[in-house]
Amino acid sequence: MKKCFILTLVLILYGCTGDKNNDAISLLNEGGSLFQQGNYDSAIRKYNEALKIDPDNAVGHNLLAMAYRFKFNQTGTQEFKDKEIELFKKSIELDPKYWVAYKNLAASLYYRNRKKDAVPYLEKALELQPDDPEKALLLKWIDEGKNE
The answer, yes or no, to whether residue 95 has pLDDT greater than 70, is: yes
Q: Tell me: the pLDDT tens digits for 3-14?
A: 333 322 232 333
Least confident of 6-10, 35-39, 63-67, 120-124: 6-10
d(CA 106, CA 63): 15
d(CA 1, CA 24): 35
Confidence of residue 19 (pLDDT cuts 50, 70, 90): low
Contact (CB, 8 A) for 57 and 94: yes
pTM for the whole thing?
0.84
Task: Give DSSP secondary structure letters for 71-82.
Answer: HHHHH--HHHHH
Contact (CB, 8 A) for 126 and 138: yes
- The region, left, alpha or beta by phi > 0 then psi within -120 to 50, assigned to residue 133 is alpha
Fold (CATH) for 1-75 = 1.25.40
Cα dihedral 108, 113, 117, 122 sign: positive
Q: Domain coordinates of the chain in residue numbers? A: 1-75, 96-148
Residue type, 133: P
**Percentage above 90 pLDDT, the chain:** 84
